[in-house]
């Protein structure tokens, strides 16, 4: 039982390049989330998907797009990377959304550097 799997674990991009961060969960959870963590700070929500087929913006969505491919997979895309997007990205899943009272399971993170 792998939980939440993220790929890649590390990535270096040049400014303007695009890439997709992959996330998959095997717990049959309904909700999935993308967070970013900047040095010395807590996590900030980028996008979430309350259920298959739906996505919504979080606190810091600018510069990102997401796709809920199916119940298991939720991808995050950077269309034109900027140095301000250098961060550690975490994917998480839960049975329900944050306001519904369920615990979160996090992946191990993707460390992204944009030069």
Partner 1 sequence: GIQVEQSPPDLILQEGANSTLRCNFSDSVNNLQWFHQNPWGQLINLFYIPSGTKQNGRLSATTVATERYSLLYISSSQTTDSGVYFCAVGGYNNNDMRFGAGTRLTVKP
The residue (of 81 and 89) whose beta carbon lies closer to partner 1 is 89
| Smallest gap from residue 91 Cβ to partner 1 (A) | 11
User: Smallest Cα–Cα separation from 3: which of 108, 81, 115?
Assistant: 108
Q: Can you count the helices (H) and strands (E) in the chain? A: 0, 11
Measure the CA–CA gap between 13 and 84, rounded to whole angstroms: 12
Q: Residue 17 in contact with residue 77, Cβ under 8 Å?
A: no
The residue (of 67 and 104) whose beta carbon lies closer to partner 1 is 104
The single-letter DSSP state of residue 84 is: G
The residue (of 38 and 79) whose beta carbon lies closer to partner 1 is 38
Residues 30-89 that bind partner 1 (CB under 8 A): 33, 35, 40-45, 48, 50, 56, 58-59, 88
Where do contacts with partner 1 occur on this chain (CB under 8 A)?
33, 35, 40-45, 48, 50, 56, 58-59, 88, 90, 97-106, 108-109
């Amino acid at each position: 039982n792998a939980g939440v799997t993220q790929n890649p674990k590390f990535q270096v991009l040049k400014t303007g390049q695009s890439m997709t961060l992959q996330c998959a969960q095997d717990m049959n959870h309904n909700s999935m989330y993308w967070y970013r963590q900047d040095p010395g700070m807590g996590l900030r929500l980028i996008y979430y998907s309350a259920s298959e087929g739906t996505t919504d913006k979080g606190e810091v969505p600018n510069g990102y797009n997401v796709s809920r491919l199916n119940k298991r997979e939720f991808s995050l895309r950077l269309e034109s990377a900027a140095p301000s997007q250098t961060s550690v990205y975490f994917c998480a899943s839960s049975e329900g959304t944050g306001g519904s009272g369920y615990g979160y399971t996090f992946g191990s993170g993707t460390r992204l550097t944009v030069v």
